[in-house]
C-alpha cells in the first residue's frame, strides 16, 4: 500500500500514523505545503493522510496554496481514495466539502475526553473509555452536508466525522506521541493564549501515558479504513 501524507509543519513527523505504516510494511511519502512547495496533481496512492498545521483552513488570502490543496482533497475523495484528516486536516476536509471553518469559543489544549456518537462504529465506540485524547486547536468546523458525526465532546461539538465509506476526519490528535507533545510544550505552549480549556504543562505531562491509547485507537482506525 502507498500512503501519501500532506504536512503543514515542516519538522513535525506523522507520529503514530508513520509508525503504523512502518509496522504494516507500507510505503509512505510526504508533501510539505508552503508557498514554495505547491502540488498541482496527486501521485498514485491508496491512502491520503492530512496532518495538522498552524494556519486556518480559511486563510486562503495568506496561504493561496490552500485553494489548490482543498481542490486536491476533493479530487481524492471523489475518486474513492481513503482519506484521513487530523486537526487542521479534518478542518481542510470540512472546508473542501463546503462546510464553514471558524474560530472556536476557546482554544482546546491538553488531554480532553471525547465521546462516541455512533455506538455501532467498531473503533469510535471505544473512545469513551479513554480518559482523554490530546487536543491542540483554536478552530472548529461545521459538519459538511452528507457527513456523519461520529464523535463529540462537551466542549467541541464536532470532534470527528465520516464521509461516505472512504473519509474520516478527527479534530483530536491520536497520532501525537510523547516526543511531539514535549516539543509543543517547549516551543509553542508559552505562545498560546489563556483559555479555560488550556491545561497546565504539568497536567499535560502527567497524562502523557494517554498517548498509548491514542496510538491503539489510531492503529485500529487505520486498519479498518484501509481494510
Q: How confident is the model at residue 30 (pLDDT cuts 50, 70, 90)?
A: very high
Least confident of 3-17, 43-57, 179-193: 179-193
pLDDT, the chain, mean: 95
So what's the pLDDT on residue 31?
97
Q: Compute the average pLDDT of residues 100-121.
A: 91
Q: For residues 146 and 149, give the distance between their C-alpha atoms in angstroms, rounded to a whole number.
A: 10
Burial class (CB in 10 A: 0-12, 13-18, 19+), 155: middle
Residues, the chain: 227
pLDDT at position 121 over 90: no
* 190 vs 152: which has the higher pLDDT: 152
Q: For residues 188 and 214, give the distance between their C-alpha atoms in angstroms, rounded to a whole number.
A: 21
So what's the pLDDT on residue 10?
87
Q: Compute the average pLDDT of residues 43-69.
A: 97
pLDDT at position 62 over 80: yes
Question: How many CA atoms are closer than 13 Å to the CA of 21, on its beta-carbon side?
Answer: 20
So what's the pLDDT on residue 128?
78
For residue 35, give the C-alpha cell: 508557498
* Structural domain total, the chain: 1
First to last CA, the chain: 11
To the nearest 10 degrees (0 to 180), the angle between helices 88-96 and 65-78 is 70
User: Residue 83 belongs to what domain range?
Assistant: 2-225
Which domain CATH number covers 217? 3.40.50.880
pLDDT at position 118 over 90: no
Q: Compute the average pLDDT of residues 75-80.
A: 98
The share of the chain scoring above pLDDT 90, in percent, equals 89
So what's the pLDDT on residue 122?
72
pLDDT at position 120 over 70: no
Sheet holding 160-163, edge to edge: 27-32, 2-7, 47-50, 82-86, 167-170, 160-163, 148-152, 115-116
Q: 159-192 pLDDT, tens per residue?
A: 999 999 999 999 999 999 999 999 999 988 888 8
Amino acid at each position: 500500500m502507498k500512503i501519501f501524507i500532506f504536512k503543514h509543519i515542516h519538522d513535525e513527523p506523522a507520529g503514530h500514523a508513520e509508525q503504523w505504516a512502518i509496522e504494516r510494511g507500507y510505503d509512505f511519502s510526504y508533501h510539505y505545503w508552503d508557498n514554495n512547495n505547491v502540488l498541482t496533481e496527486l501521485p498514485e496512492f491508496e491512502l491520503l493522510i492530512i496532518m495538522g498545521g498552524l494556519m486556518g483552513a480559511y486563510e486562503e488570502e495568506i496561504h493561496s496554496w490552500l485553494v489548490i490543496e482543498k481542490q486536491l482533497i476533493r479530487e481524492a475523495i471523489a475518486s474513492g481514495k481513503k482519506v484521513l484528516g487530523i486537526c487542521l486536516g479534518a478542518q481542510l476536509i470540512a472546508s473542501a466539502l463546503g462546510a464553514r471553518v471558524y474560530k472556536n469559543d476557546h482554544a482546546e489544549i491538553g488531554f480532553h475526553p471525547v465521546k462516541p456518537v455512533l455506538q455501532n462504529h467498531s473503533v469510535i465506540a471505544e473512545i469513551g473509555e479513554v480518559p482523554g485524547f490530546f487536543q491542540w486547536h483554536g478552530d472548529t468546523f461545521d459538519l459538511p452536508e452528507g457527513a456523519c458525526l461520529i464523535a463529540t465532546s462537551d466542549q467541541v461539538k464536532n470532534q470527528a466525522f465520516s464521509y461516505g465509506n472512504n473519509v474520516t476526519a478527527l479534530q483530536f490528535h491520536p497520532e501525537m506521541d510523547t516526543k511531539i507533545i514535549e516539543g509543543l510544550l517547549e516551543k509553542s505552549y508559552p505562545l498560546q493564549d489563556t483559555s479555560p480549556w488550556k491545561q497546565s504543562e504539568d497536567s499535560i505531562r502527567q497524562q502523557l501515558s494517554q498517548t498509548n491509547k491514542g496510538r491503539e485507537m489510531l492503529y485500529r482506525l487505520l486498519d479498518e479504513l484501509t481494510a
